[in-house]
Amino acid sequence: GALDYIRKPFDPEELLATVDGVLGKRSLLRAHEHIRMRLEKSEELHRYIVNSSPDIVFMLDGDGHFCFVNSKIESLLGYQPAELCGRHFRHILDDRDIARGTYALKGPNITADNPRTLEVRLKTRGSRKATRHFEITAFPIDPETWPHANHGGGKHNDREARYYGTARDVTERKEAEAFINFQAYHDLLTRLPNRALFKDRLDLAITHA
């Protein structure tokens, strides 16, 4: 751990200057170690917050490929973060929403103050293919203000991130809305259309005619 040496016989002023220099080096090393530990704790906290989020957190490059995705995607959709990084986001989009999802990402008006928000269906992984409804919110990343976007607590690769976003599972809400709509227009005992639905369709037919 020696940082310097003194030749004998030594000059008192040289000794004082050398000791002062060594103390200065030690102070810088301790400050550097303190900053490093604070950065590590900050990264651990960031990683914990991202992976503990109730929503899927993701980053995409300019072409729409995953640069990062948190571990929440495994419990919600069954995908491992590692298997999605590098793949295009349309890989998990329901076929009916691919065109709309791709267009939304490339829209001209998307900014940090005006993020793109849309509801899409995402495919689950496994033998029984199913879809779940998600509300997607995506923000563009400014490379000048965030030059090292590929960091944080999850799986990422060397692609340069251009979009940051979250995906919130709204499947239960959509199912509740569908059930309420069904209740309004169907008899719950027979499950047949009721008078309200008949009137609605009749009014529509009259208007169309």
| Confidence grade of residue 151 (pLDDT, cut at 50, 70, 90) | very low
Give, rounded to a whole angstrom, the gap between the first and last alpha carbons of the chain: 93
Same domain, 148 and 186: no
Same domain, 196 and 127: no
Same domain, 16 and 40: yes
* Side-chain-facing half-sphere of 115: CA atoms under 13 Å: 15
Q: Is 86 helix (H, G, I), strand (E, B) or coil?
A: coil
Report the domain count for the chain: 3
| C-alpha to C-alpha distance for 76 and 124, rounded to whole angstroms | 8
Same domain, 128 and 161: yes
Same domain, 60 and 42: no
Same domain, 92 and 115: yes
Same domain, 154 and 184: no
Same domain, 35 and 62: no
Same domain, 197 and 153: no
SS (H, E, C) 137-201: EEEECCCCCCCCCCCCCCEECCCCEEEEEEEEECHHHHHHHHHHHHHHHECCCCCCECHHHHHHH
Q: What is the structure's pLDDT at 149?
A: 46
Q: Looking at the domain assignment, is residue 196 inside a domain? A: yes
Same domain, 139 and 108: yes
Q: Looking at the domain assignment, is residue 2 inside a domain? A: no
Same domain, 91 and 69: yes
Residue range(s) defining the domain that contains residue 23 = 11-52
Q: Looking at the domain assignment, is residue 1 inside a domain? A: no
Mean residue pLDDT of the chain comes to 85
The CATH number of the domain where 135 resides is what? 3.30.450.20
* 139 CA to centre of own chain: 10
Kindly state the average pLDDT of the residues 109-124.
83
| C-alpha to C-alpha distance for 89 and 62, rounded to whole angstroms | 12
Same domain, 163 and 61: yes
Token pair, residue 92, equals 């998990």
Q: What is the structure's pLDDT at 52?
A: 84
| C-alpha to C-alpha distance for 129 and 87, rounded to whole angstroms | 19
Lowest mean pLDDT among 80-89, 102-111, 175-184, 193-202: 102-111
Q: Is 134 helix (H, G, I), strand (E, B) or coil?
A: strand
Kindly state the average pLDDT of the residues 12-22.
90
Whether the predicted pLDDT of 147 surpasses 70: no
Whether the predicted pLDDT of 150 surpasses 50: no
Q: Looking at the domain assignment, is residue 4 inside a domain? A: no
